[in-house]
Amino acid sequence: MKNQTDSRFHNSLLLAAFGFLIIFSFIATDYYFNYDSAKVSALENASPKSYEREKRFQRFLTLLGQQLHSIRNFPDFSNFLEGKVSKDHAENYFLNIAQTQGNIMQLRYLDASGHERIRVDQLAANTFKTFKIKDLQDKSHRDYFIEGKTKPIDQVWYSKVDLNIEQGVVEVPFKPTLRVIMPLGKDGQFNGMLVMNVYMQGFIDELMRMPLYSPVLLNADGEILWHSDAELNWSAYQQKPFTIFKFYPQLTSVLDKSKPYKDSDRFVRRLDLPLAQDLYLWFEVNPVYLQAERVRYQQSLTVVSAFVALFTFLAILFFSKLNARLYDQVLRSKAQFEAMFKKHSAVMLLIDPDNGDIKEANTSACKFYGYSPEQFSKKNIQSLNEIDQANLPETLSKLQGAGTEPYHFVHRLSNGEYRDVDVDASLIDTEDGNLIFEIIKDVTQEKKNKANLKEILSRMALASEVANFGVWQWNYESGELVWDKQMHRIYGVPESQEVDRYQQWHDAVHSDDIASAEEKINLAAKGDVDFMTEFRIIRPSGEVRTILAVGRSQRDEQGVPTSMVGINMDITKQKLLEIQARQERSFADTIIDHAPMIIALVNSKGVMVRLNHYGEKFVGFTQEEVSKEAYFWSRFIPKSLRSKVTEFVQSAQSGQLPPKFINPWIGKDGHERTFEWTNLSLNDEASNGNYILAIGVDISEEEAIKENLLVSVKNAEQSNNLKSEFLANMSHEIRTPLNGIIGLTNLMLKTPLNLQQRDYIEQSLQSSKTLLRILNDILDYSKIEANRLDLDVQAFSLEQILQNSISLFSYAANQKGLELHIDLSTDLYISMLGDSLRIEQIFNNLLGNAIKFTNEGDITIQAFARSVTESDAEIEFRVMDTGIGIPEEKVQHLFEAFNQADTSYTRKYGGTGLGLSITKRLVEMMGGELWVESVEGEGSTFGFTLKFKLAPKKGRALDLEMFKNLRFLVVDEVIPPKNKRS
């Protein structure tokens, strides 16, 4: 075994020496042949770098064009062009756009004649100015307007990148500017243009930031627009203008539109951009970078040379001493291995690679599997992992492969339990020959944990997708940035693995936001603060989105920051909603301030935190003055009411705020006006405070009119009462002598009279009775109007009242050939309490009208109970006829005093027009309701309801059951009715 060790020693020594000679030769050769390889490699990469910068420039221009299209199609601007809204709406929208896009220097709308109609300028950072009409300028003579009129309608075009010139003088310091223009049309004709001037300095600085190169941005004339040496920028505007050919006179032909130029020192290419000028990128390798690479080569060669020499010396010295001790170390290593094998906490086995027999198991293996060393010596590996005999050779061959990853098996313990294990195996050389050395790790619990973790991660991914936020991790040491799927969706990029994710993020962030975002994330990477910021990104489609980014540093066991984990959330919609909310709040404030009423907001401490312009003007105090102390506003209220202001504010806290009331307010000059107040209690959840919103409408004129009207109504009521009392008294006084006339006339009819005398006296008697009926109606109406009509409540029989009315009008009905019917429900043959005289008067009025306006057919009085209890009864009555009916348009005026359906009826049928009015008032006095249903030419039905108390029963009530199943003979003369009603 010692000879074997010596042989290995000599071989290792020779191999080491040969290896170091190869390394030294390689470095020397590489230094000799590749001294300038860094420069060559950098120039090789210049071409793809130019295309990448060209694409970035194109994205920037596309974004600007999309911005103009958005402005063109936004309702506030398009409606302004159509004359639907005022200039203020469009101007406010222009101002919002300029405020949210920090690189806009000027945003204008020029009409078809070239006059500025809307203009917004950025004077300084976040400072903007709008212009009144008198300050707007005529731009019809400017080149861009003249050229813009020839461009296609609603298509964006771009000017050349140039310095900003004011009043014919270049603005200093230099401000590179790009003008983006969209001609507008109406009915196919030119109708003005949108013009947006954009600051270009920030974008160009970011575009040209390439540490590997010293880039130059040129125009087609070789004029320098941007140079790494700032003093050479904008060479055409220097005190002594020059071009780049001042430094390279031999290269005047390199600016070729058709193809790039490349030599050993530079690469030049024209950028394919939709600008009004050709731009070229000029690449030269940064001298600082080249010098650093050359120093690195020299240092590498020096270090390697010294290292090889030193190592060769130490190797000779080391191996000479090692040779004497190597054999002893081998013996000690064997002993140490045996001790380690037996006592190590890890489960270890030695297995015969030919047949799978277990040669030896350490103490931990015996404990884990539950077998003794003697039992293990009789077992084969098949007894642990239960593999088939046919698969045993393949398994043993796999275990001898010495793979870098562990093998997974399911092993069976002595108690029958199965455990998941990972097996690290290697073939080792022992005194007994080659054996498979296995280290076995129980991963059962770990497998369960991974399954649980996988489920948790799956749920997190689902939550991330639902909540629309992406998760990222940034490793500080490696610089690796890892995104989840949602991050790729947010940024609109595919899930490519071979991408510099940090550079991809850097390129996506808006050029105006990247510096701030990187500053904050680098500050958070130190571990002192958390990362939180907002920035805009430009997706590959050109769409601009606003992102909220949050992150926190992770630390190792020593507390050193090692990585950052965070989320990105797309908050574009929220930002747009915030802008819309600000606009809506501004609009609401305008409405409140210009509303012709007082609108005030009072907090729970009695401070009036808001008072609109109308209120300020009325009270003579400003909002700041009113809100400087609690209950300052109490001085606007009359002294008699000031003690209640505290109670008013506290009522809102207890939920008892009066919704409406009327009280006066006093202005600063002492004038007083009456206001009607509408109050609403509001709860601000953000501040956990209660507020009272009070809206006061000036009703001083209305109150004065109302007061005058009340006086007039009162006077009218007094006059009406006096009239009613006069009519009642006069009717009574007239009726007394009239009754005497009627009595004497009746007596005269009983004396001998000739035919002419009898005729005269009968007509006189008839006229007297008619006059008496009229006087009775007037007397009743006057009593009702004067509230002097009282009801005499006594027991009565409804059957008797109906019979009386029928008997009274039977002669008149017979004279016209009409039939009279009574339909009385059997449960109404009871005694009730009421004024029978007035009830009979109601029936007489309705029945008299029915006979008067019915020429043929029948008239029916119907009565049935709506409800009957032991003490009360509610009865519905109907008087139905087959008369002339009532026109629909006349029905609504039927119950008015001194009114009939048609004035011709009065001439034809007579009457005062008071009967139905009196009837309606009598029904209402008895707690009922009167209505009419009528069809012109077919007849009418007058219905009403009355409620009565039941009279105490006297004697034995009539038992109608006794008449059941008996036969009766009814004899009646039947006249066919015109229109039978049931």
The whole-number pLDDT of residue 980 equals 43
Q: Which residues contact 416 (CB under 8 A, 6 or more apart)?
A: none
Helices (H) and strands (E) in the chain, counts: 26, 36
Q: How confident is the model at residue 625 (pLDDT cuts 50, 70, 90)?
A: confident
Beta carbons of 13 and 318 less than 8 angstroms apart:
no
Cα 842 from chain centroid (whole Å) = 66
Q: Does residue 880 or residue 639 have the better pLDDT?
A: 880
Q: Is the pLDDT of residue 904 over 70?
A: no
Task: Measure the CA–CA gap between 912 and 899, rounded to whole angstroms.
Answer: 8
Predicted confidence at residue 180, as pLDDT, reads 95
Residue type (1 letter), 902: D
Is residue 278 over pLDDT 80?
yes
Amino acid (1-letter code) at residue 455: E
Q: What is the pLDDT at residue 177?
A: 93
CB 738 within 8 A of CB 772: yes
pLDDT of 481 over the 60 cut: yes
Distance CA 556, CA 567 (A): 21
Query: pLDDT per residue over 559-600, tens digit each?
Result: 888 888 889 999 988 888 888 878 877 777 787 778 888 888
Please tell me the distance from the alpha carbon of residue 508 to that of residue 517, in angstroms, as a whole number. 12
User: Per this entry, what is the length of the chain?
Assistant: 982
Comparing 18-32, 214-228, 310-324, 480-494, which segment has the lowest mean pLDDT?
18-32
Average pLDDT over residues 739-766: 83
- Report the range of poorest mean pLDDT among 49-53, 241-245, 334-338: 334-338
What is the structure's pLDDT at 954? Answer: 67
Identity of the residue numbered 401: G
Task: Rank 401-415, 694-708, 899-913 by mean pLDDT and report only the highest.
Answer: 694-708
Is 805 a residue whose pLDDT tops 80? yes
The full DSSP string for 850-900 is HHHT-SSSEEEEEEEEEEE-SSEEEEEEEEEE-S----HHHHTTTTSTT--
Q: In which band, very low, low, confident or very high, does the pLDDT at 4 lie, cut at 50, 70 and 90?
A: very low
Q: CB-hemisphere CA count at 13 Å for 429?
A: 3
pLDDT tens figures, 667-684: 877 888 888 888 888 877
461: pLDDT confidence band, cut at 50, 70 and 90? low
For residues 902 and 908, is the Cβ–Cβ distance under 8 A? no
Q: What is the mean pLDDT of residues 393-422?
A: 79
pLDDT tens string 163-220: 887 777 888 888 899 999 999 998 889 999 999 999 999 899 999 999 889 899 999 8
Percent of the chain, pLDDT > 70? 82
Task: Please give the average per-residue pLDDT across 778-787, as a whole number.
Answer: 69
pLDDT for 146: 92
Quote the crossing angle between the two packed helices 755-785 and 700-749, to the nearest 10°. 150
Which one has a higher pLDDT value, 622 or 464?
Answer: 622
Residue 325 has pLDDT above 70, yes or no: no
Average pLDDT on 541-557 reads: 88
| Verdict on whether the full-model pTM lies above 0.75 | no
The pLDDT value recorded for residue 89 is 86
| Stretch among 110-119, 389-398, 926-935 having the lowest mean pLDDT | 389-398
> What is the average pLDDT across 525-535?
88
Instruction: Write down the pLDDT at residue 940.
Output: 93
H/E run at residue 904: helix 903-909
Give the pLDDT mean for 62-66. 92
What integer is the mean pLDDT of 757-762? 83
Mean pLDDT of 357-385: 86
Q: pLDDT digits over 125-140, tens only?
A: 778 899 988 889 999 9
Whether residue 173 has a cis bond before it, omega within 30° of 0: yes
> Is residue 9 very low, low, confident or very high in pLDDT (cuts 50, 70, 90)?
low
> Average pLDDT in the 829-856 region?
90
C-alpha 482/C-alpha 499 separation (Å) is 10
Residues 504 and 489: their CA atoms lie apart, in Å, by 14
Place of tokens 């029936």: 843
| Signed CA dihedral, 206, 212, 214, 215: sign only | negative
Average pLDDT, the chain: 82
Mean pLDDT value across residues 392-415: 76
What is the DSSP code string of 163-225?
Answer: E-EETTEE-SS--EEEEEEEEEEETTEEEEEEEEEEE-HHHHHHHT--TTB--EEEETT--EE
The pLDDT of residue 906 is above 50: no
Mean pLDDT within 696-709: 81
CA distances from 609 to 25, 204, 625, 627 (A): 86, 49, 10, 5
SS3 540: coil
Give yes or no for residue 977 having a pLDDT over 50: no
* Listed range (726-735, 746-755, 869-878) with the worst mean pLDDT: 726-735
**Neighbour count for residue 977 (Cβ, 10 Å):** 19
| Pairing between β-strand 819-824 and β-strand 858-868 as defined by DSSP bridges | parallel
pLDDT given at position 466: 61
CA distance linking residue 180 with residue 107, whole number of Å: 10
Query: How confident is the model over 69-84, as pLDDT tens digits?
Result: 999 999 889 999 988 8
pLDDT at 826 (0 to 100): 86
Residue 907, pLDDT score: 45
pLDDT on residue 1: 44
**Confidence (pLDDT) at 427:** 80
